[in-house]
Each structure stands twice: as structure tokens, then as C-alpha cells.
Amino acid sequence: MEIKLVLGDITRLTDVDAIVNAANNSLLGGGGVDGAIHRAAGPELLEECRTLNGCATGEAKTTKAYNLPCRYVIHTVGPIWHGGSSNEASLLADCYRNSLIEAQKNGARRVAFPSISTGVYGYPVDKAAEVAIKTVKDVLRSMSSSFDLIEWCLFDNRTYNAYETVLKG
């Protein structure tokens, strides 16, 4: 079981079975990584998302990946940052936990996450990295036999460095 960080575009990854999308409650697409995933997957992804009736913050739902090089997209909805006293950390932890549960249900043993909530949703990246890595390590204590690889695909150096500091610390 390997945990790793890579710098780049999550839609280009060829070493995972599932990628996680940082979506919104509608699951009908948006900007950021969500927009990139919908563009790369093609219009059938939106068609399937329309059948899901949205997704609550902290929960996760799985679709096929269509034109992407992986098998599944796990859509999760991160919290919007309101200063830290609105249950943000616990909702962000739910995103990682529920995404891994979805991956396990679908037999996806190799999973990539983006940095959920740290773009449009404004979650401070240092704090988000701590929640992300702690939660995944906690979940893997009970589910490690279900996974071969968990990676974060980070889009810029600042975000990469924040996750590296937490992972190596």
C-alpha cells in the first residue's frame, strides 16, 4: 500500500482506477477540477450525473469515467470555508472517508484525490492538507487491504508543498 503526491492534472493520470472530483451539491459541473474532469470525460458524464439527484456536502457518489483513462469518477462535495467554526474540518474528513468507501465498494484499489475545497471553496491549503492526510491514514488503518495506491494529484507547487510538509512531517 503506497501513498504518494504528484504535481499535475488529475485528468491525465494513468496509474489509478478512480479519480475523485471536487464537485458541488448539484453534481452538474462547474469550474476548477470539476470543469476539467467533465471536459476530459465528455458529455456522457453529465448525463449520468443528472440521474444522481445531487450530493450532500461530505458525501460521495460514483459514476463511470467515460473518456478518462481511469474506470470511475467519485464525486464528492467539499465544504465552503466560512472561517473554520462551521464544521468545515469534519465535513472535509467526511469527503475523504466517504470517497474511500465508494472506491472500496467498486473495487477501485488505486485512487487519486485532488486538493478538495482549497480552490473556489477557499479552504486554507495547510489546514486542508492536515485533514486530508490524517483522515486517509486513519481510514487505511481499517481498510488497507482494499487499496494498493492512494495519491494526491496537486495542481500547483504551493499546494504540493503544503501536502508534502504534512505527509513528511
* Given 73, 100, 159, 162, the residue binding ligand AR6 (CB under 6 A): 159
Total site size for ligand AR6, rule CB under 6 A: 25
Helix axes 88-105, 125-143, angle to 10 degrees: 40
Residue 24 one-letter amino acid? N
Q: Which stretch binds ligand AR6 (CB under 6 A): 16-24, 48-56, 65-73, 160-168?
A: 16-24
Q: Compute the distance between CA of residue 78 and CA of residue 45 in angstroms, rounded to an integer.
A: 20
- Contact segment (CB under 6 A) with ligand AR6 among 30-38, 55-63, 100-108, 139-147 equals 30-38
Question: Should residue 18 be labelled a site residue for ligand AR6 when binding is judged by CB under 6 A?
Answer: no
Neighbours of 141 (CB within 10 A): 7
Check binding of 74 to ligand AR6 (CB under 6 A).
Answer: no
- Position among 120, 143, 149, 167 found at the interface with ligand AR6 (CB under 6 A): 120
Minimal CA–CA distance to 138: which of 112, 130, 152?
130
C-alpha cell at 122: 477557499
Residues 124-153 interacting with ligand AR6 (rule: CB under 6 A)? 153
3-class secondary structure, 146: helix
Q: Which of 5, 10, 65, 111 binds ligand AR6 (CB under 6 A)?
A: 10
- Give the whole-angstrom CA distance, residue 14 versus residue 69: 6
First vs last Cα of the chain: how many Å apart?
19
Interaction of residue 116 with ligand AR6, rule CB under 6 A: yes
Taking the complex as a whole, the smallest distance from the CB of residue 84 to ligand AR6 amounts, in Å, to 15
What is the distance between the alpha carbons of residues 145 and 89, in angstroms, rounded to a whole number?
Answer: 26
Does 58 contact ligand AR6 by CB under 6 A?
no
The contact set with ligand AR6 (CB under 6 A) reads: 9-11, 22-24, 30-34, 36, 78, 114-121, 153, 155-156, 159
